[in-house]
């Protein structure tokens, strides 16, 4: 049940009011679909110029870029571009940041790291494969590390820049079958809390946003009807989250008003845990 099949609704903006993220350059990794896509649309609706990063599916990324540029761009220059790049590869991460800087001819302001993977076998640690463990840590942890490292170097200092990493409520829910995934996200939470302190004096904040179960390809992949219903029943709000339930929080953290939230893990899960 992919969320991508639904029509994209891009909110129109009131032309006379200044937008909170007007012309601020944002990279959103893993934004061709799912939560990253909703975040990219939301940041663009707040005025940001967004880089839609993906790893394999250029069709979805290009489609989103067209939709954002047609709905929101107020000039002939694009408000969104698509850049392919594997976040676990240091050179590709550097190229992604280079592309963001040159496309909009402005310094980078916001990094949202949403790229992530989850092993859909939901194996116990005893039965899990080492390859899947390595892949999980490679994309989720090494990828977040490389993006944070590049973001800390390149985001404009003194200007209220933002680093936001998507982790997971699973890092505290700790359900069987999610060993490598939960550990890969817990590592990112430690990394980002330290990064926030290391960025003292730059006015750049660093936070994690940790969703609970959200109806995306990642959530549905490999799950039985019973597993899906269990996740719904565990929610006090009796439903799965949607990518649009997560995006406004990221928009707030990215805005000037979000400055005082720094070095935190903000769980956005409808009360799941």
Please identify every residue annotated as catalytic. Answer: 181
CB of 78 to ligand NAP, least distance (A): 19
Minimum distance, C-beta of residue 22 to ligand NAP, in the bound complex (Å): 26
Q: At its nearest, how many Å lie between ligand NAP and the CB of residue 201?
A: 29
Q: Which two tokens stand for residue 207?
A: 């936070």
169 secondary structure, DSSP code: T
Of 19 and 100, the one with the shorter C-beta distance to ligand NAP is: 100
User: Which residue number, 19 or 133, has a Cβ lying nearer to ligand NAP?
Assistant: 133
> Nearer Cβ to ligand NAP, position 9 or 23?
9
Residue 59 CA to residue 87 CA, distance in Å, equals 19
Q: Which is nearer to ligand NAP, 79 or 168 (CB)?
A: 168
How near is the Cβ of 249 to ligand NAP at its closest, in Å?
12
Which residues bind to ligand NAP, rule: CB under 6 A? Answer: 29-36, 53-57, 86-88, 114-117, 139, 143, 166, 168, 211, 213-214, 216-219
Between 243 and 258, CB nearer to ligand NAP? 243
What sections of the chain are H helices per DSSP? Answer: 34-45, 58-72, 90-104, 130-136, 143-154, 170-173, 179-198, 217-220, 225-233, 243-254
Burial grade of 236 (CB within 10 A; 0-12, 13-18, 19 or more) = exposed
Count of CB atoms situated within 10 Å of the CB of 232 = 13
Measuring CA to CA, which residue among 250, 98, 93, 253 is closest to residue 160? 253
Residue 215 C-beta: closest distance to ligand NAP, Å? 7
Contacting residues for 270 by C-beta, under 8 A, at least 6 apart: 212, 235, 236, 237, 239, 241, 245
Distance (Å, rounded) from C-alpha 9 to C-alpha 41? 9
């Amino acid at each position: 049940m992919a969320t991508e099949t639904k029509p994209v609704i891009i909110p129109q903006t009131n032309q006379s009011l200044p937008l909170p993220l007007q012309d601020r350059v944002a990279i959103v990794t893993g934004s061709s679909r799912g939560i990253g896509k909703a975040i990219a649309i939301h940041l663009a609706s707040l005025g940001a110029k967004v880089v839609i990063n993906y790893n394999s599916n250029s069709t979805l990324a290009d489609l989103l870029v067209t939709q954002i540029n047609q709905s929101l761009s107020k000039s002939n220059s694009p408000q969104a571009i698509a850049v392919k790049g594997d976040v676990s590869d240091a050179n590709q991460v550097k190229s992604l940041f280079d592309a963001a800087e040159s496309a909009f001819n402005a310094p980078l302001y916001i990094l949202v790291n949403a790229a992530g993977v989850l092993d859909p076998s939901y194996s116990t640690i005893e039965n899990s494969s080492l390859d899947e463990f390595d892949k999980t840590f490679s994309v989720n942890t090494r990828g977040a590390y490389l993006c944070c490292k590049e973001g800390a170097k390149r985001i404009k200092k003194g200007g209220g820049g933002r680093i936001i990493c998507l982790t997971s409520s699973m890092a505290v829910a700790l359900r069987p079958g999610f060993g490598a995934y939960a550990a890969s996200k817990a590592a990112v939470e430690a990394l980002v809390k330290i990064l926030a302190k290391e960025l003292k004096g730059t006015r750049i904040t660093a936070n994690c946003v940790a969703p609970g179960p959200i109806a995306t390809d990642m959530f549905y992949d490999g799950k039985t009807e019973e597993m899906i219903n269990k996740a719904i029943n565990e929610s006090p709000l009796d439903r799965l989250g949607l990518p649009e339930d997560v995006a406004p929080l990221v928009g707030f953290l990215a805005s000037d008003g979000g400055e005082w939230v720094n070095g935190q893990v903000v769980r956005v899960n409808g009360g799941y845990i």
